[in-house]
Chain A
Amino acid sequence: MSSAVLFDAPGPKTVARHRIYTLLAALGLLGVLAFVVWKLYSEDQLTYAKWEPFITPRYLNALLEGLLTTLQMAFTAVLGAVVVGVLLGVGKLSEHGWVRWPSWAVVEFFRAVPVLLLMIFVFYSYGISRGDSGAYWSVVIALMLYNGAVLAEIFRAGVLAVPKGQAEAAYAIGMRKTQVMQIVLLPQAVKIMLPAIISQCVVALKDTSLGYAVAAPGLTIVGTRIYTSFQNQVPTVIVIAAMYIAVNFLLTLLATYLQHRLVGEKSPLDVTNVANMQGGANTGGAI
C-alpha cells in the first residue's frame, strides 16, 4: 500500500509542521553522523596509519583475493544447493510415501539446524586434517546442505505455482511422470524461481563469513588478519562490511531485474518473500 493513501494530501498547516519535523529529523541525523565521526576522530581511528593498509596494493590484493574466494565459496555452495534442492524438492512432491517422508524429514532437519553446528560437524568429520582446503569445503558443504533444504521448499512452491493445466495437458498427450516434470514443469518453475534463487545467493554469500569459526579462507578471515597485525579494528570492519554490502547490493539488483524480466510486476510466488527473509515459511531461516 502506498503511503499516498495512508495520509491525506497535507494542507498548509500540516505542510508547515512537516517542514519543522523534516528539519528536526535532518538535524538529528546530522548530529548522529557528526557524533560518530567525532568519536572516531577522538579515538584516533581516522589517522592515516589506521587506514594505510586499505591503500596499500599488497593488502588491497589480499582483500580482493579474499572477496574472490568468498564469491567462489558462495557460488559453489549455491550450485550444490540447487542440485540438493531439486532432488529434495522433487522428492517432497513424489507420489511415493517412502520418498516423500524422508525428503520431508531431511528438509526440516537441515532447515532447523544452525549452519554453524553443521559447519563445525563437517569440519571435524572431514576438514580438520586437510588444512585450508578442508576448511573451505567444510563451509561449502554445510552451506550446500542448508541452502539446499531451503531451496527444496522454493522448488516445491515453484512447481506447484505452475498452472495445473500444464501438467494435465502433458499427461493428456501421453507423457510419463518424469517427462512431465523434466520437460514441462521444471523449466517453467525455474523461471518463476530464479529471483528467489538469486536472493538465496545473498544469504549464502553472507553465510560464507561464518567460515570465521573454522578459519576458512575468505574476506572475513583476511579482515581479521589485517586487524590483528595493524590493530585497526574499526577501519577494517568498516571496509569489510562495505565490500559485503556492495556485492550483496549488486546481487539484489540482479534479482530485482530478473523478477521484472521473468515474472513481471505481480509476484505469484510467495517464496520470493520467504527467500528474502532468508528462510522457510515457518522453520525460519538464516537471516
Chain B
Amino acid sequence: METVLDNLDDVGLAFAYTVLLFVIAGVLSLVFGTLLAAARVGPIAVLSKATAVYVSMIRNTPLIIVLIFFRIAGPKIGLKFNFVDVTIGDVRLNNLFTACVIGLTVYTSTFVCEALRSGVNAVPLGQAEAARAIGLPFAGVMREVILPQAFRASVPPLASVQIALLKNTTVAGALGVFEAFARMRTLTNKNAGDRIEIFLTFAVIFVILVEVVSFAAHRLERRWRVA
C-alpha cells in the first residue's frame, strides 16, 4: 500500500479530474441527448432521418477515435479550445480537458438519445390511444400521458449510459488528461513491483464510484415509479 499512500495527493487529484470529466460531460450529454431525441421522434421526417444517421454513425465509432478527432485532428481545422483556462486549486481545466469533455459529450449524447427514444417506445400504444380518445390535443397527450411515463421508463437505461460514461472518462487519460487512468499508468510505471496494489486501489475506487451512481439511479427509479 506504500506507493498509493505516498502518492495520496496525486491519486486524489486524479480522481478529482475523473469526477469533473464525468459530471460536466454527463450534464452536457443529457442536454444534448435530449435535443437529439426530440429531433429523432419529432414529426419532421428530414430531421428524424438525419438524426438517425448521425446517431448510428457516432455510436459505431470507437470512443477513442472521437476523442482523437477533438484532441488531435480538431486543432488542425481551428477547433481549439484555448479560451478555456480555469484553475481551481490544483485542478487546471485547459484546452485538453475541454477537448476531451466535448468528445465524451458528443459520444455519450447519442446513447442518451437512444435511451430516451427507447423510453418513448416503452409506453404502451393504448396509453396514447386512450389519451387521444378522451380528446387531448397533441401537446396534452405528450405532456400528461406519454412523457411522464417515457421519462420514468428511461431512468434505468440512462443510468447505464452515465455509468458507462464514468468508466469511459479513463479514455481521456490515454489522451493527456491526468485523471485516474493516466495516474495509475505513471504510478505503475514507476513502481512496477507494486502493480497489484495500485491496480486494486484504483479499481476499488472505481467500483465505489460506480456503485454510488448506480445507487442514486436506483433511488430515483423507485421514487418515480408509479404504484
Contacts and interface: CB of A to CB of B under 8 A. Distances in A.
A286 interface: yes
Contact of B170 (A18, A116, A209): A116
Interface string B121-163: 1011100110010000010011000100000000011011111
Contacts of B181: 114, 116-117, 120, 213
Contact of A25 (B47, B57, B60): B47
B170 A117 contact: yes
Contacts of B95: none
B50 interface: yes
Contacts of B166: 284
Contact of A113 (B61, B111, B207): B207
Given A120-B188, A277-B111, A212 B64 contact: yes
Given A7-B138, A121-B195, A241 B203 contact: no
B130 to A, nearest CB: 11
Nearest to B207: A112
Contacts of A40: 77
A279 B164 contact: yes
Interface in A263-287: 273-274, 276-287
B142 A120 contact: no
Quick one: which of A10, A18, A213, A282 has the most chain B CB within 10 A? A282
B43 A249 contact: no
Give the 8 A-B CB pairs with smallest separation, nearest first.
A284-B163, A209-B62, A233-B73, A248-B60, A287-B164, A114-B167, A213-B174, A121-B199
A244 B165 CA distance: 20
Interface in A163-221: 202, 206-210, 212-213, 220
B46 A29 contact: yes
User: How many A residues touch the partner, as a band?
Assistant: 35 or more
Interface of A: 1-3, 5-8, 10, 18, 21-22, 25-26, 29, 39-40, 43, 45, 108-109, 112-118, 120-121, 124-125, 202, 206-210, 212-213, 220, 223-224, 227, 233-234, 236-237, 240-241, 244-245, 248-249, 252, 273-274, 276-287
Contact of B157 (A6, A210, A273): A273
A116 B63 CA distance: 12
Contact of A212 (B69, B138, B174): B174
B43 A284 contact: no
Given A283-B163, A284-B163, 17 more contacts: A1-B124, A1-B128, A7-B138, A121-B195, A124-B195, A209-B64, A210-B62, A233-B76, A234-B76, A237-B72, A241-B65, A244-B60, A244-B62, A282-B156, A284-B162, A284-B213, A285-B160
Interface in B195-223: 195-196, 199, 202-203, 206-207, 210-211, 213-214, 217-218
Contacts of B202: 117
Contacts of A279: 160, 163-164
Quick one: which of A43, A120, A248, A286 has the most chain B CB within 10 A? A120
A255 to B, nearest CB: 12
Contacts of B47: 25, 29
B111 A114 contact: no
A45 B72 CA distance: 14
Given A45-B77, A114-B168, A120 B203 contact: no
B68 A237 contact: yes
